[in-house]
Every structure is written in structure tokens, then in C-alpha cells.
Amino acid sequence: MSVPPRPSALLAAPLLVLALLLAGCSSGPAPEKAPVGAPGQGAAGPESDDAASARRAPSGPAAAPSPTPSPAAIPGLGPETLAAIPAEARQAFVVTGEEADANQSSAVLYSRQDPAKGWQPVAGPWNAHNGMEGWTDHHVAGDLRSPTGVYTLTDAGGRLPDPGALLPYDEQPRFAVDGEGFFGEPLEGSFDYVVAINYNRTDGVSPLDRTRPLGLERGGGIWIHVDHGGPTQGCVSIPEDRMRELLRTLDPVMKPVIVMGDAESLGR
């Protein structure tokens, strides 16, 4: 008469099969595993996080993903104007005129440090003046209008010593100016600090350089300079303390530009 197998014998075969399945087919040492509970590995290995999430997932429709916010654009600038800002530019000094024929404007400095966040205001708004007759998209010498558009800013200078400018700064007594403005205000000190706007000029040289690539008839010497309390011949002017602040902030590494024009033009 046969003797029934003992319970321990009945369990031995399944345990042996299970051990072989867990060991895999490799005859070499098992690959090194991340510690149990390591980040991204779950509690039992690299595939357990997904499995555990699947077990915990509630039934029914999946939750909609949170919308990703769009990078901030510069307020008031339309698609054409934004497209004209070079991709490498990470500072934009935006000067917005009240109207096409107005000579008062507002200036705000924007920075694009983090592409994911887009443009962020870092200084301003500041009161500013522009050309006596307003703005134009085809500036010519003597029209008393400021040229609209996007222009790089690469060079600075002035009659006074360098206040800590990051752009190359040319200190020259030739920046002295006298006389009166359109409303009888004194012009003295207007060029104590200037930043050349690269309209019809060669970049990388002193603002005093008179090279005019578009020809003399298209005007030139368009600067950001110290405000004298009235409209300009075609430049942009801001208060002296703001001018010093701007010089200490515009950074050639960030490829700064000026975006300038009346509100309607900039909104296109």
C-alpha cells in the first residue's frame, strides 16, 4: 500500500518552479538593482510605479491635463512687431507714443531671462519724449519725426563720465550741446548720457560716428538721451536718473533692442 506524500513534499515542486522563474535565464550574476523604494523605481523595481498607478487609478474618464500657460508677450505689440524682434534679443526697451503725431510717449524695459516665462517688465513705465512731429515709418533728415521699428542697441557715450554702463561707453566733450528746445527749454545736458539707436548707423562705434549706410538724406544721430523737458528732433529722451539706470541695465550679452513707435503702429 502506497504512503501519501507529506505536505512539505507537495509544496517543494511549485516552490522550485517559482524560484527558477524569478532567477531568469541568465547564468551570470543578476544585474545590479536600484535600492527598494528608490525614486522612479517604486517599491519593487522599475516597472512597479506604472503598475501601482494603474491599480490606484479610479475608473471613469481620465482627468484632462492642466493647460500649459503661454509665454508672456509684450503688451501692446502686435504679431508683426513681435516678429521683428530678433530671436537672440533678451532685452527690449519699448517706447510707445501716444499717437502718430504726438511727441510724448511712455517707455518700459522688458527682459526675457526664461523663455518659458516670456517677456517680463523690469523697469518703467517712464515718461519720455520723441520727435516734435511724432512718428514715421520712413524717416528723412529734418522731418522732426522719430523712426518707428525695432533697432539694436550696441553703443553708448556722453559728456559725463561712465556711470557704470555695460555697453561700450565713449566719454567725449563733443557731446556738449546748448541752445533752446522747441518750447524754449534749455538743451544743455541733454547729451550727458546717450545710447545710440542703430538706425542708419554702423554698430560697434561711438554714437558720434557720422557714417550713414542709408545715405545722409535718411537722417541719423537718433539716440536715447537725457530729457530736456520737450520734444526732440527725432530722438527718444528720458529723465537723467532713468538714463543712468538704463545704461547700467542694458547688457550686450542680452542683445538689447529698442522697439519704438506710436501705439497703433506697434500694435500691428
Active site residues: 225, 235
Nearby residues of 46 by Cβ (< 8 Å), 6 or more positions away: 34, 40
Nearest to 156 by CA among 130, 175, 138: 175
In three-state form (DSSP H/G/I as H, E/B as E, the rest C), the secondary structure along 45-106 is CCCHHHHHHHHHCCCCCCCCCCCCCCCECCCCCCHHHHHHCCCCCCEEEEEEECCCCCCEEE
Burial environment of residue 164 by CB neighbours within 10 A (0 to 12, 13 to 18, 19 or more): exposed
Q: Which of 207, 187, 189, 211 is nearest to 197 (CA)?
A: 207
What is the C-alpha to C-alpha distance for residues 78 and 263, in angstroms, rounded to an integer?
10
What are the grid coordinates assigned to 241, written together?
Answer: 536718473
The helix or strand, by DSSP H or E, that contains position 266, with its residue range, turns out to be helix 263-266
Tell me the C-alpha distance between 240 and 188, whole Å: 12
Per the CB < 8 A criterion, the answer to whether 84 and 68 are in contact is no
